[in-house]
């Protein structure tokens, strides 16, 4: 059974800092991994999707990497801003877009 | 012009009642989903439909019955509500249902008293 872990549960950083959010998963037989952002009272927004054959994806200040063999992914946020404050969830797709989610990391970027 | 919209946003009801949550997507996607986010913030899939056909049916009590009248709509009906059903329910969709980005609605917060 796939398990996805995100540690720590919460993170507070000053504005401008580069930061790395970690995600680990137990079963390396995945089709892809997605990083989502969730704002309070809102739905999830897909940030990046990495196919199992890829090593990384970039979008603006975000870069996500995937090491399938070791069961790890990282989301790198460059030059963090207060607007980046949200909960970031990673999810792995085993089949049929049946995603297994981590609990998320709640990020607070202090002005 | 909301891509995935679900109603209502909040639902407060008594134990034993029957309630429905509606979901509609205007993205032209073939596949729709229901996810449940419990009090510990874990998101778990409940159901998925592809072009009105049930694809994923996780271990969910049969008090929960999804209904897809067409591929743009996936409604969730819950019978005999229990306290443990209190959670946030998210609807989502994807283009074909295989290894693609998911687009989520803003959620329905269900509180059973």
Write out pLDDT tens, residues A14-27: 999 999 999 999 99
The pLDDT tens digits of the residues spanning A84-108 come to 999 999 999 986 667 899 999 999 9
User: pLDDT tens digit string along B51-83?
Assistant: 888 888 887 889 999 999 998 999 999 999 999
Report CB contact under 8 Å: B103, A46.
yes
Chain mean pLDDT for chain A:
93
User: Three-state DSSP class for B85?
Assistant: helix
Q: What is the mean pLDDT of residues A49-63?
A: 94
| DSSP class per residue in A5-60 | E-S-SEEEEETT--EEEEEEES----SEEEEEEE-TTS-EEEEEEEETT-SEEEET
DSSP A78: S
Closest CA to B80 of B36, B20, B18: B18
In whole numbers, what is the pLDDT of chain B averaged over residues? 91
- Chain A environment of B102 (Cβ under 8 Å): 34, 44, 46, 97, 99
Cα atoms in the 13 Å half-sphere on the side-chain side of A103: 10
Percent above pLDDT 90 for chain B = 71
Mean pLDDT calculated for residue range B85-108: 90
> Which of B49, B36, B48 is closest to B90 using CA atoms?
B36
Is the pLDDT at B98 greater than 80? The verdict is: no
Q: What is the pLDDT, as a whole number, of residue B1?
A: 62
Give A-chain residues touching B101 at CB under 8 angstroms.
34, 46, 49
């Amino acid at each position: 059974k796939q398990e996805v872990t995100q540690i720590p549960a919460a993170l507070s950083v000053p504005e401008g800092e580069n930061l790395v959010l970690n995600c680990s998963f137990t079963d390396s037989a995945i089709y892809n991994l997605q990083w989502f952002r969730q704002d309070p009272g809102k739905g999830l927004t897909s940030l990046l999707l990495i196919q199992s054959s890829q090593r990384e994806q970039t979008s603006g200040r975000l870069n996500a990497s995937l090491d399938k063999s070791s069961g790890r992914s990282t989301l790198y946020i460059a030059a963090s801003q207060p607007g980046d404050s949200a909960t970031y969830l990673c999810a792995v797709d085993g089949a049929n877009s049946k995603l297994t989610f981590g609990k998320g990391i709640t990020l607070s970027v202090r002005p | 012009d909301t891509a995935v919209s679900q109603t209502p946003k909040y639902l407060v009801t008594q134990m034993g009642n029957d309630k429905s949550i509606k979901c509609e997507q205007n993205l032209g996607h073939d596949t729709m989903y229901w996810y449940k986010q419990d009090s510990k913030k874990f998101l778990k899939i409940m159901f998925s439909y592809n072009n009105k056909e049930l694809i994923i049916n996780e271990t969910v009590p049969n008090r929960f019955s999804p209904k897809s009248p067409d591929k743009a709509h996936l409604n969730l009906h819950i019978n005999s509500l229990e306290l443990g059903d209190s959670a946030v329910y998210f609807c989502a969709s994807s283009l074909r249902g295989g290894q693609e980005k998911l687009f989520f609605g803003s959620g329905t917060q269900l509180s059973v008293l």
